[in-house]
Structure 1
Amino acid sequence: MFNLKNTNKTIQDIDTFFDTIDETILVFKSGVKNYLYNNTEQFNDNLQSMAKLEKTSNELRRSIESKLYTHSLMAEVRGDVLRLLERLENVVDILARNLFQFEVEIPFIPVELNNDFIKLTETSTLSVEGIIPAAKAYFRTPDLMTDKIHRVYFYEQETNKLAQSIKRKVFHEMDKLKLSEKFHLRYFTLHIEELSHAAEKIADLLSVMAIKRNF
Structure 2
Amino acid sequence: MSNKGTSKTSKVAAWILWIVNFIVMVTCILIMTLGLWIISSPGSLSTVIDFTGNATIKALLQDMLSLQVGIAVTAVAIFVFCISFMGFYGAITKSPFLLFMYSALVLLLLLLECALLYYFSSNLVEKGLQDDGLWTHAMRLAFKCCEHNATIPDVKKPPWSCCGPETYPDNCTATMIVKKDCQSSIVSWLERYQLPIYTSLALIHVILSSCSIVRRSCHASRSYS
Normalising by structure 1, report the TM-score.
Answer: 0.40
**Which has the larger helix fraction?**
1
Structure number with larger C-alpha Rg:
2
